[in-house]
Structure 1
Amino acid sequence: MSQESRSVSFVGGLADDHGQITVFVVVITALVVLFAGLAVDGGLALAAKIRALGEAQEAARAGAQAIDIDAYRADGTLRLQPDQARALAYRYLATTGDTGTVTATERTVTVAVTVQQPTQLLQVAGVDTLTVTGSGTARPRHGVGTPER
């Protein structure tokens, strides 16, 4: 065989395999992207969950500031004004841009916050957002009775 014929058959061998991808490689690549999406977007969802919990707790604390001052001054009864407590908690949520529900009684304020977390990699799988919720409860307390040392 001459040098030229060897080169032609070698190139012809490569031309037969050119552009072929096995199904195994495609499946493995898709799984790697999916697992990366779960890791990245799962981490983002966890961070959003922590933020939702924090916002709910802070909104509940804001609502727990609505103490019925007249009752407290009259006989030391510590209770909330539910309508004012709800308004304060909703005002706090409005400043953060979050949505949620507020339930207030004379003793407690409970806030549930819902956050829509956009996905980064799971959009490839058709998941555009993840919904996470967090809730917090607060109640009014008497002030410090003795000074700290």
Structure 2
Amino acid sequence: MALNHEHRDAVMTPRSRISWWRADEGRVSAFVVVLVSAILALAGLTLDGGLALAAKVRAHGQAESAARAGAQAIDLAAYRSNGTLRLLPTQAIARAQAHLAAQGAAGTATISGDTITVTVTAAQPTQLLGLVGITSLSVHGQGSAHPQRGITAIEP
């Protein structure tokens, strides 16, 4: 009489069940290693990607504020004589660089016409991606500003 599967499993001895487990030959272990590696890689991309995005927003804010600081270096003599708003390039760049240094940021400032542009570059260290050899991510932020006239009169 042939045994069906349910009956065969019911009559399996503990020894035969153990031999089935030993017959696995490590295939489950390899699957677990690959699965855990993939989960760690996804967690690393999520965590370190979020940290890099936050660092990029911070670099952008630092560049914008440094550009505004540089845009305050206007040529007062020209403004008082004929109302022309223009930047003093060396002072504007110096103010922007001093503002970046006060924030602990590194960047460059350039002048084009009456606009100052500041670019901040920062390295964001990684938390989990360091396990696969990526120790830091480079982020950049850029901001521009130019001098503007304020409100000179309030109309009723």
| Alpha-carbon distance change, 38 to 76 in structure 1, aligned in 2, over 3 angstroms | same
Q: CA deviation at 1:28?
A: 1.2
Under a length normalisation based on structure 2, what TM-score does the superposition of the two structures give?
0.82
SS at match of 1:102: strand
1:55 and 2:79 matched = no
Selected match of 2:128 from 97, 121, 124? 121
Distance 1:148 1:87 in 2: 37
- Identical aligned pairs, as a percentage? 48
1:66 corresponding residue in structure 2: 73
Distance 2:155 2:30 in 1: 70
| Alpha-carbon distance change, 148 to 95 in structure 1, aligned in 2, over 3 angstroms | farther
1:93 corresponding residue in structure 2: 100
SS at match of 1:134: strand
2:51 corresponding residue in structure 1: 44
- The answer to which of 104-113 and 67-76 deviates more is 104-113
- The answer to which of 102-111 and 121-130 deviates more is 102-111
Is there any run of 5+ residues in structure 1 with no aligned partner, and where? 1-5
| Alpha-carbon distance change, 48 to 19 in structure 1, aligned in 2, over 3 angstroms | farther
Q: CA deviation at 1:145?
A: 2.9
Alignment of 1:73-88 (within 5 A): 73-88=80-95
- The answer to which of 10-19 and 65-74 deviates more is 10-19
1:3 corresponding residue in structure 2: none
Is there any run of 5+ residues in structure 2 with no aligned partner, and where? 1-12
> Residue type matched to 1:63 in 2?
G
Distance 2:137 2:130 in 1: 11
Q: CA deviation at 1:71?
A: 0.4
| Alpha-carbon distance change, 121 to 19 in structure 1, aligned in 2, over 3 angstroms | farther
- Post-superposition CA distance 1:86-120 (Å, at most 9, x none): 00000000011111110024401100000110000
> Residue type matched to 1:134 in 2?
G
Distance 1:85 1:105 in 2: 11
Q: Could you tell me whether the CA contact under 8 Å between 1:82 and 1:105 is conserved in 2?
A: no
Selected match of 2:39 from 26, 32, 37? 32
SS at match of 2:127: coil
Q: CA deviation at 1:11?
A: 9.2
